[in-house]
């Protein structure tokens, strides 16, 4: 191994070359005889000492990486270990963050090699670095002005002028209130990472050094304004839980559980994940006294199983299964007051993703947990859901809509107090500009019909009668999110049909990250219907009302099928409307849901209305809108299988029969009647422009090879 080349490559400006050097070193140390590699190791150690003092950060990073490999492979001599501790102390506040992170890894390897001596020699350096950088340098606070500006500004002749100057002062970016929350903390996070590395490297031998002062410093950092510092300290708290055992952990258990609860409720997903990791470690170590500590973190874990960030959600679900086993419902019922209070609190969080998770958690609580434990809290939970029902974020409204429907089904008597408000909100959201909100409103109303019977059904029927014909009043220039103005920068508020490809609107504009610079979607709380009081100003599109009614009729078919046939002519009329831009979107919804409607009311009740839908659904197969074409093909296939292939085909004209047998969007027949009554494609099928061979009435798929029967054998005359 050429040591000089390896050292040069380890400090190369190219990341890939540095990684290759470290990989080569690891392989060489694992295969060479220690006696043969002694000289090489000595050269490497000398090279590390030289590179660590280089002006180039790549060289310093390479030195730290090589030192870590040498120490981890037990190849370094005692003198080098002492030098490595000194180098780590010197580079703890290196200007390059990658070097500082590598210092933490070297300290971890050193601690695993020689134990708590590393902490004893670096404690003052690390703790002083943390304390000195815990607060940002506010040399230029927002309450003062830059000296040059002050000199140029004339003295204020009056109090009013002085106030105006203070109000309209210009601040430089990166100073005062213009400073971002992640900026200006220098090496605070990496110093905490170094502390974590030493704790993990020392293991149980570090426990005596977990003094109240050190724990207090860690607890303080859990509330730090910088999210990266909070994340690092939650990982440290997990390491603390691993170090403490027995009576000491039992004594500190409630204290640690309270701190973990803050992290599990953090606004940042990375912090939540770090807290989730620490919480699992804590609960596994605290098994003997779950009765004391589990109620303090149970609501947080339970809600995070629905959190939008996938890592947090899946990890919390695994933790729940690991800790709770099959006792989860019993524990939630046992801790119901605490769980309810936490859910209500989170339904008011500034983070719309948290509010959405709270709605889903409330729905689960009402449906899956012992009703006697939940019943006293239902009014409070419903008030929280009503607040979320008027949220600026449509996923929150969607989740609240479904949760309310499940609530009235589980607790019909307790829900009567707010039922009138719920009806208003459900019917308003049946006409929402988001299709999934319309669909879920229909599902919630169906649950209300199951809970309250004829009274709810009569309300629903009256509303469908009113809203179903609305598409006929739709202007020709319909917009999927039409006439929509948004007071926020998120959501579906932009008029997108003509703006999407406008270069001027997307060039040299302010960019927003998904972090704290982005505007927050406001919580609900207005007194309106839920569609006009959440930050959007828009006129409802009439076709969306008809679209919502399609979902409602589908759900009604499963609850009160005898009420559905009266609306089938109206659905057929809506299917024939083509005068507005989004008629195909409306048809797509109808074709996706018509088979379920027909199945719900039964074949006998649907057959008299079948012919009214045949012309528009077959036209949908050739409309040019792929989603509508696919939905129409699936609809035809399902209706054919429901009615019976022979009866269905008997209702078709010649052109429709050709499409039935040749369209690739129509699936092959299914069910017990799939082989009965099918005819071959009429003559001229090839002239219809499709040109797909047909065998036995079933279209051959593109790419298939048709196997022809052999010709009959004949004797040719001589």
Both tokens assigned to 234: 């939650």
Say which residues have a Cβ less than 8 Å from residue 268's Cβ, sequence separation at least 6.
227, 230, 231
> What is the phi/psi pair of residue 98, to 5°?
-65, -35
Q: Note the pLDDT tens digit of each residue in 637-684.
A: 999 999 999 999 999 999 999 999 999 999 998 876 665 555 555 544
Q: Residue 675 has what pLDDT?
A: 59
Under the banding of pLDDT at 50, 70 and 90, the label for residue 516 is: very low
Q: What six digits make up the tokens of 181? A: 């929350």
Angle CA(586)–CA(589)–CA(591) in degrees, nearest 5?
A: 110
User: Of 324 and 485, which is predicted with more confidence?
Assistant: 324
Instruction: Report the C-alpha gap between 405 and 484 in whole angstroms.
Output: 28
Q: What is the pLDDT of residue 535?
A: 46
Query: Among 365, 397, 402, which residue's Cα sits nearest to residue 381?
Result: 365
| Residue 152: CB atoms within 10 Å | 9
Average pLDDT for 168-172: 54
| In contact, 276 and 314? CB cutoff 8 Å | no
Helix (H) or strand (E) holding 580: none
**Average pLDDT of the segment spanning 13-22:** 93
Calculate mean pLDDT across residues 318-327. Answer: 94
Is the pLDDT score of 514 beyond 80?
Answer: no
pLDDT at position 336 is: 95
- Residues 476-499: what's their mean pLDDT? 48
Instruction: Encode pLDDT of 210-261 as tens digits.
Output: 999 999 999 999 999 999 999 999 999 999 998 887 788 888 999 999 999 9
- 185 pLDDT band (50/70/90 cuts)? low
- The b/e string for 582-621 (b: 16+ C-beta within 10 A; e otherwise) is bbbbbbbbbbbbbbebbbbbeeebbbebbeebbebbbbbb
Q: How far apart are CA 102 and CA 408, in angstroms?
A: 56
**pLDDT of residue 701 exceeding 50:** no
d(CA 29, CA 22): 11
Q: Residue 695 forms beta bridges with which residues?
A: 698
Q: How far apart are CA 491 and CA 360, in angstroms?
A: 20
- DSSP-assigned letters across all residues of 649-674: HHT--HHHHHHHHH-TTSPPP-STTT
* φ, ψ (nearest 5 deg) of residue 11: -105, 20
- The residues, any chain, with a CB within 8 Å of residue 527's CB and separated by 6 or more, are 533
From 290, 198, 189, select the one nearest 234 (Cα to Cα): 189
Give per-residue pLDDT as tens, 545-584: 999 999 999 999 999 999 999 999 999 999 999 988 889 9
* Percent of the chain with pLDDT strictly greater than 70: 77
Backbone angles phi, psi at 698, to 5 degrees: -110, 125
Instruction: List the domain boundaries for the chain.
Output: 326-495+524-563, 600-683
Task: Indicate whether 686 pLDDT > 90.
Answer: no
Strands 698-699, 694-695: pairing kind: antiparallel
CA-to-CA separations, 363 to 381, 400, 567, in angstroms, rounded: 9, 8, 32
In the chain the first and final C-alpha atoms are separated, in Å, by 89
Beta strands 694-695; 485-486: pairing state: unpaired
Q: For 326-495+524-563, which CATH class? A: mainly alpha
């Amino acid at each position: 191994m050429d040591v000089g080349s390896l050292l040069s490559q380890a400090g190369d400006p190219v990341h890939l070359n540095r990684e290759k050097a470290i990989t080569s070193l690891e392989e060489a140390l694992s295969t060479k005889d220690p006696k043969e590699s002694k000289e090489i190791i000595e050269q490497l150690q000398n090279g590390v000492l030289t590179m660590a003092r280089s002006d180039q950060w790549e060289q310093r990073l390479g030195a730290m990486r090589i030192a870590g490999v040498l120490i981890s492979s037990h190849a370094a001599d005692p003198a080098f270990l002492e030098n490595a501790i000194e180098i780590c102390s010197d580079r703890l506040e290196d200007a390059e963050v990658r070097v500082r992170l590598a210092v933490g890894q070297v300290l971890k390897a050193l601690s695993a090699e020689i134990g708590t001596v590393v902490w004893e020699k670096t404690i003052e350096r690390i703790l002083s670095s943390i304390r000195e950088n815990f607060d940002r340098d506010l040399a230029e606070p927002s309450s003062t002005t830059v000296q040059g500006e002050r000199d140029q500004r004339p003295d204020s002749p009056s109090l009013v002028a002085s106030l105006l100057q203070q109000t309209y002062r210009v601040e430089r970016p990166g100073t005062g209130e213009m400073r971002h929350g992640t900026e200006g903390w220098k090496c605070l996070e990496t110093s905490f990472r170094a502390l974590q590395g030493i704790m993990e490297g020392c293991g149980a031998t570090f426990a005596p050094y977990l003094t109240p002062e050190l724990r207090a410093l860690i607890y303080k950092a859990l509330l730090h304004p910088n999210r990266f510092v909070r994340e690092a300290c939650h990982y440290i708290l997990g390491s603390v839980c691993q170090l403490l055992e027995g009576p000491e952990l039992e004594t500190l258990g409630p204290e640690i559980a309270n701190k973990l609860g803050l992290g599990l409720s953090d606004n940042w997903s990375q912090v939540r994940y770090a807290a989730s990791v620490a919480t699992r470690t804590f609960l596994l170590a605290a098994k003997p006294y779950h009765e004391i500590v589990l109620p303090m973190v149970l609501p947080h874990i339970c809600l995070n199983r629905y959190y939008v960030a996938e890592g947090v959600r899946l990890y919390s679900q695994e933790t729940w299964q690991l800790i709770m086993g099959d006792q989860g419902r019993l524990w939630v019922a046992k801790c119901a007051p605490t769980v309810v209070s936490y859910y209500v609190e989170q339904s008011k969080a500034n983070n719309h993703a948290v509010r959405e998770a709270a709605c889903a958690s409330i729905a689960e609580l009402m449906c899956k947990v012992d009703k006697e434990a939940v019943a006293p809290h239902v009014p409070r939970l419903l008030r929280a859901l009503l607040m979320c029902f008027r949220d600026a974020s449509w996923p929150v409204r969607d989740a609240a809509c479904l949760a309310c429907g499940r609530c009235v089904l589980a607790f019909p008597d307790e829900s009567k107090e707010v039922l009138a408000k719920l009806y208003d909100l459900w019917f308003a959201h049946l006409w929402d500009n988001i299709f999934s909100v319309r669909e879920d409103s229909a599902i919630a109303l169906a649950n209300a019909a199951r809970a309250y019977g004829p009274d709810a059904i009569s309300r629903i029927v009256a509303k469908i009668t009113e809203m179903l014909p609305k598409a006929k009043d739709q202007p020709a220039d319909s917009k999927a999110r039409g006439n929509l103005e948004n007071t926020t920068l998120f959501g579906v508020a932009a008029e997108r049909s003509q703006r999407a490809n406008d270069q001027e609107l997307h060039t040299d504009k302010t960019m927003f990250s998904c972090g704290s610079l982005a505007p927050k979607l406001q919580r609900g709380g207005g007194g309106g219907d839920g569609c006009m009081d959440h930050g959007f100003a828009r006129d409802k599109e009439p076709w969306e009302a008809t679209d919502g009614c399609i979902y409602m009729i589908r759900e009604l078919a499963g609850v009160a099928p005898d009420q559905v046939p009266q609306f089938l002519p109206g659905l057929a009329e809506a299917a024939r409307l083509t005068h507005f831009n989004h008629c195909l979107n409306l048809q797509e919804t109808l074709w996706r849901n018509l088979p379920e409607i027909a199945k719900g009311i039964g074949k006998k009740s649907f057959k008299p209305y079948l012919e009214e839908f045949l012309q528009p659904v077959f036209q949908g197969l050739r409309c040019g809108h792929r989603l509508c074409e696919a939905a129409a093909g699936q609809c035809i296939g399902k209706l054919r299988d429901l009615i019976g292939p022979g009866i269905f085909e008997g209702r078709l004209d010649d052109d429709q029969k050709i499409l039935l047998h040749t369209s690739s969007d129509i699936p092959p027949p299914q069910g017990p009647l799939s082989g009965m009554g099918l005819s071959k494609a009429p003559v001229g099928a090839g002239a219809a422009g499709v040109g797909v061979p047909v065998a036995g009435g079933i279209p051959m798929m593109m790419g298939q090879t048709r196997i022809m029967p052999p010709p009959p054998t004949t004797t040719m005359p001589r």
